[in-house]
Amino acid sequence: MTKVETKPCPQCGAVMYHNQGISKKTGKPYENWKCGSCGETEWVSSFPAKPQTPIQQTTKQIGINTMIDLLTNIQKGIDDIKSAIIIPEKGAENDAKIEGNDS
């Protein structure tokens, strides 16, 4: 016979039952306490996120720096293109001659 873990519900004082297993929907492990009377559920965090290793932190930092460099280079390219475009002054459109056009 399997022993069922129980504890009192903080909401109503009735019995809470311990549940754990693998979710059929997500395939991820779960663990909780559920009250048989009021339905109060307490989720247990028995699968904490692993702390990042220095290598993972360095990789994220390199990724951020690379993105900043990329955006900076893109902006420099946009500025270079803007400076290369010659925009005629207002009213000067009629003064411009097109090479090879004598009209």
Both tokens of residue 39? 């339905």
Total-model pTM: 0.41
Could you read off the pLDDT of 2-33 as tens digits, one per residue? 677 899 999 999 999 999 888 888 888 889 99
How do residues 51-82 score in pLDDT, each as one tens digit?
A: 656 655 555 556 677 777 878 888 888 888 88
Which among 31, 33, 27 is positioned nearest to 47, based on CA atoms? 31
How far apart are the C-alpha atoms of 93 and 86, rounded to whole Å?
12
Residues 40-46: what's their mean pLDDT?
82
| Domain assignments of the chain as residue spans, ordered by start | 6-43, 49-86
Tokens of 11: 């909401």
